[in-house]
Amino acid sequence: MRVSTEPKLSFSRAGKQSFFFLCAKCILWSNEMVAIVDLEKCTGCETCVNECPASAIAMENDKAKVDKDMCVDCETCVDVCPSEAIHME
């Protein structure tokens, strides 16, 4: 593998910021968190679907499902879910 000695910033996935640092001695990768839905708690109210600013949540079998590649770690869904069914991981 070819290794650069220069630190770099990159944005790896659509709408999702990631910090990428590469040098000759170390590789450090730090991603933001994503929203996780507890399907046992989700009542299918769709509040999170309507409030997510990134349109990262859709309904599947009457439960909320987060597209991890679209989630931008804003925590809006955590705040608005009336069932406390979402947390960040």
Give the Cα separation of 18 and 81 in Å (integer).
26
Binding segment (CB under 6 A) for ligand SF4, from list 2-10, 17-25, 44-52: 44-52
| Contact between 46 and ligand SF4 per CB under 6 A | yes
Report if residue 16 touches ligand SF4, rule: CB under 6 A: no
Distance from C-alpha of 6 to C-alpha of 51, rounded to nearest angstrom: 40
Is residue 73 a contact residue for ligand SF4 (CB under 6 A)? yes
d(CA 38, CA 42): 6
Torsion-angle region of 77 (φ positive above 0: left; ψ -120 to 50: alpha; else: beta): alpha
Choose, by CB under 6 A, the member of 22, 36, 76, 87 that binds ligand SF4.
Answer: 76
Shorter beta-carbon distance to ligand SF4: residue 21 or 47: 47
